[in-house]
Structure 1
Amino acid sequence: MTKLLVTGGAGFIGSFLAERLVEEGFDVLIIDNLSSGELSRLRNVIDRVKFIKDDLKNLSDPGGAFRGGVDTVFHLAANPEVRISVTEPRTHFDENVVTTFNVLELSRKYGGVKNIVYASSSTVYGDAKIIPTPEDHPIQPISVYGAAKAAGEIMCGTYARLYGINCVVLRYANIVGPRLRHGIIYDLLMKLKKNPGELEVLGDGTQEKSYLYITDTIDATLKAWEYAVKNGGAYTYNVGNWDSISVRDIVSIVIKASGFNPRINYKPATPDGRGGWPGDVKRMLLSIDKIVREVGWRPSMSSREAIELTAKSLAEELGVGNEGAHS
């Protein structure tokens, strides 16, 4: 049975990936320090995986995982909060850059890892000049989070060239779905839970971004991995949707899911009066032509559909809303 390692496997994307890998019959190991991950996300598979609580900021082999015949590492361990990277850049260097180096070095040192799938981000492009943004667009991040992800991409590519490890870099758009505990939908719902009468929204509401549902994300991840295993080498793919949606539309969807009728207070925090915080990309829409063409994956639902499904499920999970609002 092929052995696979998921770093950050108790996180949002990682937990769904682990579930899918177990369902497909793989031997799954998970490493997570539970700083942002939650064991409850793994309740459906915890008895069928090997879980190791450890911190990849330390260059050690947690539980002998990298010496245990692991074929592929899905590296998803990271601090996902883009806003925090602006105010606490050291945190993102340690948790996103240092951990990526350590994963690559452990994979090289113990020699058994043949493939690495690296979870990168659309934030590596910054405020892109070309929309939809292709993979060959210049890398110009405007957040430390984006810079950390870009650094990880470069290290992955270098290790692939130097040591013959197949590497897939996946530049995810905004990924949404059940169990999500960061980002705009979660933030808005938590604000409404605290104060149903008023809703503060970061930015002027005209920001427009692409969103992808978690099941589509896992499909793309596995198809890209299978392609790299079959063909060998290093690959970089955007993983997003065909369309985008504005913050104002997201606010409307979230309010509908909550059943409340709050007063909305838009709060721009950037010099141009649009963005919600320094480092906030105003518009993000990735070109997914390359992954569609080479890998054969395509999303099954639009950004709006992904937001609607997520807002409904998260409102239920978080206990937000009037009775009957989620029916």
Structure 2
Amino acid sequence: MKRVLVTGGAGFIGHHLVNALKEYDVTIIDNLSTGKREFIPENVRFIKGNLTDRKFVLSNIKDFDIIFHLAANADVKRGSIDTTVDVEQNILATHNVLEAMRINGVKNIVFTSTSTIYGSALMPTLENYGPLKPESMYGASKLACEALISAYCHNFGMRAWIFRFANVIGPDGTHGIIFDFINKLRKDSFELEVLGDGKQAKSYVYIDDVVSAILLSVEKSNDTVNIYNIGSDNTIPVSEIASMVIKEMKLKAKIRYTGGSIGWKGDIPKMLLSNAKLKALGWTPKYNSKESVKLTIRSLI
């Protein structure tokens, strides 16, 4: 039985992935800063700790066949206020993981990256799009992690699968636009504040589609560094998501837009990834953006 480590395995994406890895011997490392203990299955080994602590990482990341490295700062907006958080929690933590792999002889890593590494790009955006000009500290840090992973793979005989996500949504979500809208409306059922002008339109991909894409890609691709986009095949505007949340909550709230083409510094207002490379492996998303949004709203309210 393969020994698998999932960093960030108590988080939203992590715990859905762990649930799909039942045939493996799974260990989770999570500091529970955003992850939840109730997301951890009883039959899974759990180690609480911080990946920024190199001694902790070196002593715990060994004797695994593959690392699914999901742990990261997930708050994209935070980087414009605290410029160190993405450097520490994304870049330094990933470097510690890679160093532990190098020293302890672990050869395979799956890394969850982001569409924000592309910046404002031509759409649908292909994996070989360039030049890459991320506009958020989060996107910049994830791109730096990708570069480190590539270098380690080529220098130390490792293999990597890197996945650039659109907006991942689904049951048990702990952050993101739908989560935020629902919480805002629970506090004020008469008015919903929406950042920007509501015209931002992005791809939203359902968590089940993400997990199936990851597992299929790891099984079927074996380059030294394998890079794939994962998204739905269309976009949905923020204004429509806001209206859908209000409708599903059976409210009559007024929508108030803060104005401007972006929701925050570093926000990418338009995003649609090409899934062509993944589809060549035999994968296709079951849900489009609107279907994903509706399913997610109903699971969270």
TM over 0.5: yes
Q: What is the CA-CA distance between 1:227 and the residue it aligns to?
A: 2.2
1:239 — aligned with what? 230
| Structure 1 residue 216: Cα displacement | 0.5
CA distance in 1, matches of 2:215, 2:107: 15
Question: 1:66, CA displacement in angstroms?
Answer: 2.1
Tell me if 1:87 matches 2:74.
Answer: no
> Are the aligned partners of 1:29 and 1:65 in contact in 2 as well (CA < 8 Å)?
no
Could you state the TM-score of these two structures normalised by the residue count of structure 1?
Answer: 0.90
Match of 1:288 in 2: 275
Whether 1:29 and 2:24 are equivalent positions in the alignment is no
Q: Does 1:311 align with 2:297?
A: yes
Determine the C-alpha separation between the residues in 1 that align with 2:173 and 2:21: 20
Alpha-carbon contact 2:165-2:231 (below 8 Å) kept: yes
- 1:130-279 alignment runs, 5 A limit: 130-138=122-130, 139-228=132-221, 231-268=222-259, 273-279=260-266
- Paired letter, 2:55: S
TM-aligned CA distance change 1:3 to 1:116, over 3 Å: same
Structure 1 counterpart SS, 2:87: helix
What runs of 5+ residues in structure 1 fail to find an aligned partner?
316-327
- SS of equivalent to 2:261: coil
Tell whether 2:25 aligns with 1:39. no
Q: Deviations over 1:262-311 (max 9, x none)?
A: 1110012xxxx211111110100001101111x22110111100000001
Stretches of structure 2 that go unaligned for 5 or more consecutive residues are none
Letter in 2 for 1:50: R
Paired residue secondary structure (1:171): strand
SS in 1 for 2:229: strand
CA distance in 2, matches of 1:232, 1:163: 14
Q: CA deviation at 1:64?
A: 4.2
- How does the TM-score come out when normalised to structure 2? 0.97
CA distance in 2 between counterparts of 1:241 and 1:199 reads 26
Distance in 2 of aligned mates of 1:33 and 1:61: 12
**Amino acid of the structure 1 residue aligned with 2:49:** D
Q: Is the 8 A contact 2:50 2:56 kept in 1?
A: no
User: Does the 8 A contact of 1:238 with 1:286 survive in 2?
Assistant: yes
Alignment of 1:4-83 (within 5 A): 4-22=4-22, 25-42=23-40, 45=41, 47-62=42-57, 64-67=59-62, 69-83=63-77
Are the counterparts in 1 of residues 195 and 258 from structure 2 also a CA contact under 8 Å?
yes
- 8 Å CA contact retained: 2:80, 2:136: yes
Please state if 1:297 is matched with 2:283: yes
CA RMSD, aligned part only? 1.1
Q: Give 1:114 deviation, angstroms.
A: 2.2
Q: How big is each residue's C-alpha offset from its partner over 1:169-192, in whole Å with a ceiling of 9 and x where there is no partner?
A: 100100000111111101100000
